[in-house]
Amino acid sequence: MASDPDDPPAPFRYTVFMDMDYTYHYPSQRAPVMARNIVTTSHPLAAQAGLSMLDKGGTAADAAVATAMALTVLEPTSNGIGSDAFALVWAGGGLHGLSANGRAPAGLDRSRYAASGDIPTLGWDGVIVPGAVSGWVALAREFGRLPLTTLAEPAIRYAREGSLVPPEIAYYWNRAADIYGRARRQHEALLAPWFETFTSGGKAPRVGSVARLPDHATTLEAIAATDGQAFYRGDLAEKIDAAARAGGSSLRSSDLAAHQPDWVRPISINYKGWKLHEIPPSGQGIAALMALGIVRLFDLAMLDPDSPNALHIVIEAMKLAFADAHQHIADPDFMQVRPADLLDETYLASRARLIDPNRAQDFGHGEPKTGGTVLLAAADAEGMMVSFIQSNYTGFGSGVVVPGTGIALHNRGCNFSLEAGHVNEVGPGKRPYHTIIPGFVTRTRADGSDEPLMAFGVMGGFMQPQGHVQVLLRMADHRMNPQSALDAPRWQVEKGLRVTIEPGFDAGVYEGLRALGHDLHIHDKPNAAFGRGQSIVRVDGGYIAGCDPRCDGQAVGF
């Protein structure tokens, strides 16, 4: 059972406080957290799991892995054991990129999508090889000190003994139960394992109730004891294979056995001395780099960051970046344009000249899809800094849970294109366009070398590069601290001229953007649709961290 709200573990019993109102009636302010060792993420217990590894003598990499494993239990609404993952790691005087994303099954038959207008998010059609487990192993092996069995201890404990569910996660857990509940009549065999794993009697946990995920505990124990081999070449791989065959998928244990994470060279662009680094394609981080390369040709620092004119320029730059991203980003083995060509100064200048400062335009950037993700950042007193991200893509992912394991499989295959001949066209053995992107910022020293400045990110589907740009501009141009930059209201480019935006700007800002031609849609409150960011900035003697108020999390340190 996922939860049992009527029988919490002794000696605790629920009281009237379960009926508290969890909406926020007044503006509140989070203060940045300052410490020599620090972890920040979207669930407080997961951040503390990582911090406990630093207290045991582990590195920031150990803290990141422990936090990531704990998040699969504590926040299954956005990630899981069947996720993909990426990391940017400052260690040994340089920045290292880790891509732990899977490929489509080798036996995939492209014709299965012939009658589809899109790859469905529910079911096996969007399931490809999960890479997160391999990422945990690779990161801990390369930069950690503690064994995986130690790093898994907090996650296993919370899975077996339970944890209290916070408000935001409870909301998305119940929303998923409602969505899957409506689909269950048509997809009983597919969704029954999800309900057995994540609900109690078909009901998702309420705010403050205890959620237990015993199957997760057993699976994480097997993964930790075998350094991930059980997942890719052992008993768990066979269970995934059996479930895939029963569900009509071409995913096989041989696909899992063939999977390897990749250490990659990050790509970057310099914005006024702030050098933003991203994982290269098939990730969409290059869209953030392109947008920055375009807006640096405008003197935004002279404008109020919350003015219509400043926002307009960045919105238009983001549209142009997405137009190129959706045209060219794919598995790097299939791309026809090099990342360096998209980041070429002459090319970016030509794109910048397309922006009309007085009028919004549709640059054919397409319609971004939604997604759910967790991001964490960790830093230790020895100077190692990590930005780590993992995701099941749409909430719990595909809705497919491998029976008896707690493994909710992601649906990253939904980001393939069905357009014949497109570089990102779905095909066997290919990696899809990937939305999740960790971010990292360095500063350039006088001698030309880089020094670490910030491990950060803003999670959430196609909001992510937009969030990277908005947070970095507020810090680089206006010297905002990391918490304030995360607190600020945000906007999101959607299809055509449509832009969604949060409350919190002055009324004149919305009027000004509409006067410039933007089809503006204002949300009633700040929310996770606009990303949930984390940030750790290096300062003399330690770090300053922020945690997005749109999530349940916090930054913790010592």
User: Residue 398 is encoded by which pair of tokens?
Assistant: 């595909």
- 539 CB-contact burial (10 Å; exposed 0-12 / middle 13-18 / buried 19+): exposed
What is the reported pLDDT for 19? 62
What does each C-alpha distance from 50 to 196, 255, 270, 447 come to in angstroms?
A: 29, 31, 31, 35
User: Residue 524 is encoded by which pair of tokens?
Assistant: 């009633």
- 316 CB-contact burial (10 Å; exposed 0-12 / middle 13-18 / buried 19+): buried
Name the 3-class secondary structure at 84. Answer: strand
What is the reported pLDDT for 8? 46
Cα gap 427→128, rounded to integer Å: 11
What is the reported pLDDT for 461? 85
DSSP secondary structure letter of residue 437 = -
What is the reported pLDDT for 117? 75
Q: What are phi and psi of 49, to 5 degrees?
A: -60, -45
What is the reported pLDDT for 30? 86
Q: How many CB atoms lie within 10 A of CB 361?
A: 14
What is the reported pLDDT for 86? 98
What is the reported pLDDT for 359? 97
> Catalytic annotation on 72?
no
- The candidate with the shortest Cα–Cα distance to 494, out of 392, 360, 397, is 360
Cα gap 264→129, rounded to integer Å: 19
pLDDT along the chain (558 residues), means of 10: 49 47 74 97 98 98 98 98 98 97 96 81 97 98 98 98 96 96 96 98 94 98 98 98 97 98 98 96 97 95 93 98 95 96 97 97 73 88 98 96 98 94 96 96 89 95 95 96 95 96 96 98 92 96 96 96
User: What are the start-end ranges of the H helices in 206-307?
Assistant: 214-225, 229-232, 235-246, 253-258, 285-295
What is the reported pLDDT for 396? 97
Catalytic position from the list 373, 405, 435, 442: 373
Cα gap 244→275, rounded to integer Å: 43
Max Cα-Cα span within the chain: 67
What is the reported pLDDT for 73? 98
What is the reported pLDDT for 12? 41
